[in-house]
Amino acid sequence: MALEDKKQPIVVKKIKKGGHGHHGGAWKVAYADFVTAMMAFFLLMWLLGSTTQEERTAISEYFQNPSAIQGPGGASTSMIKLGGALEIPRGEKEPLRDAASETAKPTPEEIAEIIEDQARLDELMQKLKEQIEANPTLKDFKDQLLLDITSEGLRIQIVDRENRPMFDLGGTRLKPYTREILRELTRTINEVPNHVSLTGHTDATPYSRERQDYSNWELSADRANAARREMVVAGMPEKKFGRVVGLADSVMFDKENRFNPVNRRISIVVLNKATERAIGLDEEAPVAASAVAVPPPPAAPLAPAITPAITPRPAPSRSNGTDVEGAIEGVLGRPSGGR
């Protein structure tokens, strides 16, 4: 009996597995967010495919600055009105064009023009380098003549050196050797049908403080115009100049030493076609074969009748001479010994 009391009862637990319990609605929220995101994605793709560049730009501006749209009756600075219509004027039945795509894809004619224009400027640069080496006047100053190609075109900079300036100190009168340099450069630049831009620069030395109405701005502009006048005398047509400006000391050549003489310079830029159109020069610049100080006047037409070499004058009245003597004096004049 004692052994039976020591045995522990064996308990068997059986777990019955039922159906899935309620897990809440979190998955529904996640699924709804996913569907919304997919709808927004496909809406975005549809907008990108069915709108023009102007419309996309307007939509972007609206989301970047929504306050630009005012209430009904107010003015709108955005490209989109409250009604959704574009404020871009169009002609009758003229479809909207994608300006960005047209700009990004130049026509074959424009590509050919760019290549031809670049080749022309490269050839001009090489010709100028050869001219500097061959011409004694330019060769002596080749360290003051800097040539490079910029986004605007071929730039020729004539810079000052210590004890060898281009202008009189604080003035606009060109030195004799500066005149020679400009005349030689003009002869070569005249051969290309490109406009020319002239820019005057000064260093940071302020102009005389005695004059309040004249500064480095006026001085740089006057020096640029002095160079322009000299190039006109050398034979460059007036219509070839597209821009003449003075920048004072705002654009330095040597930014570390603003008082360096090299900052005093004249920049001559032979503009490329893209820059010409950007500043509004539509007509092609004239071309001159060679530089001439004063163009010869046109030949005068032949006169219909030949005039005599000596124009007869009326005979003076004399009371004590014969008619023959009076006629001779009328043609040849009085003798030099007479009164």
* pLDDT tens column, 102-145: 456 778 888 888 899 899 999 999 999 999 999 988 999 989 99
How far apart, in whole angstroms, are the C-alpha atoms of residue 163 and residue 153?
A: 31
Return d(Cα 52, Cα 56) in angstroms, integer.
6
196 closest CA partner among 141, 233, 253, 154: 154
Write down the pLDDT at residue 111. Answer: 85
pLDDT at site 56: 75
pLDDT of residue 164: 86
Q: Which residues contact 87 (CB under 8 A, 6 or more apart)?
A: 76, 79, 80, 81
**Residue 321, pLDDT above cutoff 60:** no
pLDDT in tens, 262-285: 999 999 999 999 999 999 987 888
pLDDT exceeds 70 at position 233: yes
Q: For the stretch 235-249, what's the b/e string if a residue is b when 16 or more beta carbons lie within 10 angstroms of its beta carbon?
A: bbeeebbbbeebbbb
Q: Which residue has better confidence, 319 or 2? A: 2
Label residue 74 by pLDDT band (50, 70, 90). very low
Question: Quick one: pLDDT at residue 70?
Answer: 46
Is a pLDDT exceeding 60 seen at residue 211? yes
Ordered DSSP codes for 107-147: -HHHHHHHHHHHHHHHHHHHHHHHHHHH-HHHHTTGGGEEE
Q: At what angle do helices 108-134 and 176-189 cross, to 10 degrees?
A: 140
Q: Mean pLDDT score of the chain, rounded to an integer?
A: 76
Give tens-digit pLDDT for 178-193.
Answer: 999 999 999 999 999 9
pLDDT at 202: 93
> What digits encode the pLDDT tens for the residues 33-51?
999 999 999 888 887 888 7
Position 11 confidence tier, pLDDT thresholds 50, 70, 90: confident
Examine the pLDDT at 226 and tell me if it is beyond 90.
yes
Nearest to 313 by CA among 290, 336, 330, 295: 330
Q: Which residue has better confidence, 136 or 246?
A: 246
Give me the percent of the chain exceeding a pLDDT of 70: 66
Query: So what's the pLDDT on residue 45?
Result: 86
pLDDT at residue 307 greater than cutoff 50: no
State the pLDDT confidence band at 299, using cuts at 50, 70 and 90: very low
pLDDT of residue 301: 46
Residue 41's identity, in one-letter code, is F
Copy the structure tokens of residue 242: 């597209």
Domains parsed from the chain with CATH numbers: 109-278 (3.30.1330.60)
At 19, the pLDDT band (50, 70, 90 cuts) reads low
72-80, long-range: CB < 8 A, 24+ apart = 79/54
For residue 191, the tally of other CB atoms under 10 A from its CB is 16
